Amino acid sequence: MKHHSSTQAQSATLYRMVMPGHLCPYGLKSKDLLERQGYEVEDHHLTTREETDAFMEEHGVETTPQTWIGEERIGGYDDLRVHFGIDAPEDERSDTSYQPVITIFAVAFLMALGLSWYSFENIFTLRALEWFISISMCFLAVQKLQDVESFSTMFLNYDLLARRWVRYGKIYPFGEAFAGILMVAGALTWLSAPVALFIGTVGAVSVFKAVYIDKRELKCACVGGDSNVPLGFVSLTENLMMMVMGIWMPIRVYLIG
């Protein structure tokens, strides 16, 4: 099997799996990326397992899709992203990523503004700030609750209470979700505030000690057990927000009702 090289500068040849029971998603993504980069795609479908295996054996590759630009084989979808400068080469990539945290806080902030507008016809209100923090708590808890076992294992690396009482690592995300939900509703403040204050205080002290006193470089469990977020400012902010809400909400009930 020969690939068809193109005489046009802005053309590419793509081989991808298109079978009755399987349509390769990375093949579709490769085609879309090439077209968005201005290339005309000569799109070849590998329609059977046998045809795919023969193609990979002929070209000495282990995966599909495969893309050629002119006579140069670029490779799969990830290789295309590197070729177009969208991603750095694998050996230059950092394991650190703040994207999950940025996404959570951004969506929580916009939801809080939306709730504030709906309730008060004003987006910048004190209640919007309360909703921002409490919704963020809920989102962060959901990340942890997706895999409590994995979260609790990572949590043991730095949390002082979990190291003394291991089961606390599995209770923590439920407590964060419980307090966050009640604070979104503005209900049972006498219960939600102490929970938030307790877990926030323990968490803040633990993070501060691990990062700023012991100078340890750890991954933060704040967005779940498979997180690439470094322990430090983000986790400390999460816990400080819970502390603030734990202190503020009873005061709010007393002052505002």
CA 225 – CA 90 distance, rounded (Å): 23
% residues pLDDT > 90 (the chain): 68
CA 207 – CA 199 distance, rounded (Å): 12
66-75, 200-209, 230-239, 242-251: which range is least confident on average?
230-239
Query: From residue 202, how far is each of 30, 160, 190, 196, 231 by CA, in Å?
Result: 47, 7, 19, 10, 15
239 within 8 A of 247, measured Cβ to Cβ = no
Query: From residue 133, how far is each of 186, 192, 225, 239 by CA, in Å?
Result: 12, 13, 22, 11
The runs of H, that is alpha helices, within the chain are: 25-36, 49-59, 77-83, 99-120, 126-145, 148-155, 160-164, 168-185, 189-208, 233-255
Q: What is the pLDDT of residue 227?
A: 65
222 within 8 A of 234, measured Cβ to Cβ = yes
At the fourth CATH level, which superfamily is domain 11-92? Glutaredoxin (3.40.30.10)
DSSP states of 152-198 as a string?
HHHHTTT-HHHHHSTTHHHHHHHHHHHHHHHHHHT--HHHHHHHHHH
- Tens digit of pLDDT for each residue in 138-196? 999 999 999 999 989 888 988 999 999 999 999 999 999 999 999 999 999 999 999 99
pTM here is 0.76
- Tens digit of pLDDT for each residue in 14-39? 999 999 888 999 999 999 999 999 99
